[in-house]
Amino acid sequence: MGAAARVRRSAAACLVALVAVVTGCTDAAPGRGDPSYLVVGYRDAAQRLAALDPLEAGDQLADWARLGLAASLGMSRDQVVDALYDTTPVRDPGFTDLVDQPVGPGRGLFDGETLHVLVEEGDPHESRTTGLVLDQYRADAGADPARVRLHHYRVDTGHQRVELRPDPPAATADVRRDHGWREARVDQPEGLAGFLADTDHLARLETRGGEVWAGGWRWEDAPAARITPDDVAVLQRGYDRTTGPLPGFSLDPVPPAGVDDIRAAVPDLAPDLLAAIGSGNWAGTGHASADDLAGAVEQQLLQPGGPADGLPQDRTQLWALRSALTGGPLFSQARYDGGLAGTEVGMTLFYTDLTAKLWVTGVGDGVPSPEVPGFVPDPDAPTPPDLCPRRPRQERGRLWYGQNDAAFAFSDTGVDIGAQATRLFSRSNGADGTEVEPSYGFARGLRFWDRHYLEVADYEPQYHRLEQLMRWSGALEWLTAKSTARLPMSPSGTTDPSFADWYARHTELRERAPLALVAPPSAQGEAVLAVPSKTTADCDLLSISGGVSLADGLARAGETPSGTAALPAGARRADPVDPATVRVDAATGAQHFDRVVRGGDGRVGERFTFDRAQEQDATSVRITGGPRESVPFADAPLHTPGGEREFRTEVRADGPNLVFDTEFQHASFASTWVRDVPVSGAPHRQVDITVLPGQLGLLERAAGYVRQDPVNGLANAPEHVQHYTAGDGEVVYRIGDAWVAVHTGHPSSRVLATREVVTPAGVVQVSLVLPRRLTGEDVGSLRPVDEGVAPAAEIPGRIPVGAAVYQADPASVVGAEPPGAVPAPIPADARVRFVVARPTREPGPAPSLPPRPEWVLSDGTRFPGGPADGRADPRFDPRTGAWTGVRADPAGGRYGGRLGSTLRGPGGWVVLLTVCSEEEQQSAPPSTTTAAPQEEVCR
């Protein structure tokens, strides 16, 4: 275990007691004579850490340190959004692929002039951490910043704060030099050999005139996993080929070609059973069919040691036999692409591919647990029941290592490589031969590995070597495709004739268990059997196959340029952007673009859409992505209506304060306040972070209340505001800021997330739902943006796309039950008063914040939550009662039913409709489609 991991784990262990003072983990307070350090307090955010595992808790504190630094630097709202628009101030594993949640001790923050680099005190790899942050910034922005300033941070769990001490700003070139940067000309044999001997890590390859230069790092504390001139030659030959596949490796799953293959792979199987498999004649075998035999094999796997009945005792042979009998692969066959057979490059790819499959299932003698904190083999990490696949299946799938496009930035003169060049991809079997996102249980270990690749590589240096091979392959793909220059060629680079020989010779490898090698007649190369995990009761068994694809980013992109250059400088990232989707409005600050994630094999593609909208007092960023079978949140799946997932962040700036409101699937997740705290006479600046949990957190508490008291748990909950019956036995409760339905079947309201609760009367569902009614509190929290009066038929054209629409029911009052949940349809020619508004969220009184705004009505009545300018009469009175949603019906020209959207619609808008009275209808002008003074229409 690396010392960096030890530091993070020991600090995170102190976070288990989140409120109590943990003196054993706290050093003395900083010296009062140093006026330059920053204190970021998180006492009012600490409750969020309890929902995270220790590693994530440590990463969350690093994120908050960066937020506090942004506030202390006085960065404008635009600068904060540019720097952080694709991340989140409050972490959760359920949002991992939608937003960037960095791991490890390093963080970068660009303030428009200086790149601030945050490094944890005691980081044993400080130079590496600093260098990776610098490299990723250059890959994103296309150039180094002019200046860099290091900030060393220390987590003080006893006082619930993070202390940051800055170094003086320095020129970027000086910082690179001081942390091990090297450059050399590499298109000559001695230059290439010298560069490889003097560096551990490639970060840039470029042409300067007719010369080829490389830049990289020498880190004295880095594990030895160097690339040799032979390795470079092997890769360059592979990319110089004009035909055939690019360099890569795969363990291809192969079904049996006949009984001879089964005999070779499962030598302990009784001859009569083998003959029956081949002939289909099961007489005298004790089994009625191949399916019957497969059932016996499965029973032997689940309960080893029982009567064998001619079956092997070896579980690996049993697993191979079961797979073959049920139509799956019998063995995996090594395939080397791009001339990698018999080379050190090919052997590293074989080893890293094979051990990943072994270790995530807890097989082998090199499993990196507990040496890598947080790594838990899948059989030792039971899947929460709610996250098991809805339709249990024998899940098969594949993992493979591929190029991380977010780390590669190509130009006409070179390639810059960011923090992590290698990604671990995974897919699962779907219907009709398709592939789908794997279930939570299938991919849990793989996702951890992908996000903590560096820690695994510190444990097994062959994964550092894989990372360097990925870097060199991306650089050489660019060089061979974009330049006539070449690096010097060494001998062929061949090594052992087989992986078995290489494996036996490399005694330094972490994994030393015997290989499950077999030689079926149909195999066209080295073949291995999949080794099953231990038997567990977790959802179902699983099987994994896969490979390693080296860099092919240019081949996959073809001649299509990335649209990144079309974005404003602050919004650029190295991730590929589809240029056809880029829309930027310089006048309003609005941005729209799609990022494209491509799998290393070219078969997988996913889009993430980014929408940035800017208003006078807030900037919002909406990120949408494709569906997932289950999105884990607090050990329960979050349902994704329509399949699309959405994460939305709204950023506001109040003087030196920053406010972040975050939502998932249109339900509030958390509100984060970063506030400058005046500290009179203190030697430091202080910024405090407050996190207010949203509706998603309230769902968890609501499920607990129902579990304790199925009948009255929610009605008696401290957060209970009101409730109403929606039909079919469904009762909808307002619990704090959340609407929660309790039901036994399909709820009448749209569900965002559901928890099953076992009660004496049976299992009931407790769901976070979109309301059919709003309370006066809901209405009072709205801030009008636009308003007016128009015929009902014209209202759809005045409603922002995706807005949540509610119609007033004059017969009801707040808290009372209306006669019907759905209002009568509105005639198309009826005049309707409308208010387009945005919800606001307030954390409560705070001395450093401006007072809460109010609505001021014409009669002098005041309501909190209205426009800050205090203008009179917004033409909507919150006292009119409860609200029910409606849905536009263009064909009939009428409104009816309810709109299935949330208080905060997908676009962040709420529209309130009030039908003008008969008297107002008669006195109204013939046609008015724009807002008019209140004395003219619909008084």
Q: What's the pLDDT tens digit per position in 759-793?
A: 888 888 888 886 666 655 566 666 677 788 888 77
Give residue 114's pLDDT.
97
CA-wise closest residue to 766 among 807, 804, 738: 738
Give residue 803's pLDDT.
64
Give residue 734's pLDDT.
83
Instruction: Read off the pLDDT of residues 584-609 as tens digits, 9 standing for 90 and up.
Output: 998 888 999 999 876 544 544 688 99
Of 383-397, 466-480, 696-710, 850-864, give the range with the top mean pLDDT. Answer: 466-480
Residue 403 · residue 600 · CB < 8 Å: yes
Better-predicted residue by pLDDT, 27 or 664: 664
Residue written as tokens 């009367």?
761
Q: Give just the sign of the alpha carbon dihedral 844, 847, 848, 850.
A: positive
Asked whether residue 16 carries a pLDDT value surpassing 60, the answer given is no
Residue 318 · residue 312 · CB < 8 Å: yes
Give residue 605's pLDDT.
67
Q: Backbone phi, then psi, for 341, in 5-degree steps? A: -60, 135
Provide the H-helix boundaries in 180-310. 189-198, 229-240, 259-265, 271-279, 290-302
Give residue 867's pLDDT.
31
Which of 303-312, 460-469, 515-524 shows the lowest mean pLDDT across its residues? 303-312
Question: What is the full DSSP assignment across 653-669?
Answer: EETTEEEEEEEETTEEE
- The residues spanned by each domain of the chain are 3-177+554-693, 183-218, 253-331, 338-551, 698-769, 776-923
Q: Is 263 exposed, middle or buried (0-12, 13-18, 19+ CB in 10 A)?
A: middle
How confident is the model over 297-325, as a mean pLDDT?
Answer: 86
Read off the pLDDT band of 10 (50, 70, 90): very low
Which CA distances in Å does 831 have to 398, 892, 920? Answer: 59, 16, 9
Read off the pLDDT band of 12 (50, 70, 90): very low
Beta bridge partners of 494: 343
- Does the bond joining 370 to the residue before it have cis omega, within 30 degrees of 0? yes
Which of 409-413, 494-498, 742-746, 818-822 shows the lowest mean pLDDT across its residues? 818-822
Asked whether residue 693 carries a pLDDT value surpassing 60, the answer given is yes
Give residue 738's pLDDT.
80
Give residue 305's pLDDT.
65
DSSP classification of residue 311: -
Give residue 757's pLDDT.
84
Which of 76-85, 426-435, 731-740 shows the lowest mean pLDDT across its residues? 426-435
CA distance 320 to 529: 7
CA-wise closest residue to 908 among 515, 565, 612: 612
Give residue 678's pLDDT.
84
Give residue 752's pLDDT.
77
Instruction: Read off the pLDDT of residues 60-115 as tens digits, 9 standing for 90 and up.
Output: 999 999 999 999 999 999 999 999 999 999 999 889 889 999 998 899 999 999 99
DSSP classification of residue 577: B
Give residue 604's pLDDT.
46
Give residue 262's pLDDT.
97
Give residue 777's pLDDT.
59
Instruction: Read off the pLDDT of residues 526-580 as tens digits, 9 standing for 90 and up.
Output: 999 999 887 776 665 566 667 888 988 888 877 677 878 888 888 899 988 989 9
Give residue 892's pLDDT.
26
Give residue 349's pLDDT.
97
How confident is the model over 871-888, as a mean pLDDT?
Answer: 30
Beta bridge partners of 624: 609, 646
How confident is the model over 295-324, as a mean pLDDT?
Answer: 86
The per-residue pLDDT of the chain, averaged, comes to 79
How confident is the model over 19-36, as a mean pLDDT?
Answer: 35
Give residue 769's pLDDT.
80
Strands 107-110 and 38-41: unpaired
Read off the pLDDT band of 745 (50, 70, 90): confident
CA distance 560 to 438: 30
Q: Give just the sign of the alpha carbon dihedral 67, 70, 76, 81.
A: negative
In percent, the amount of the chain with pLDDT more than 90 equals: 47
Read off the pLDDT band of 267 (50, 70, 90): very high
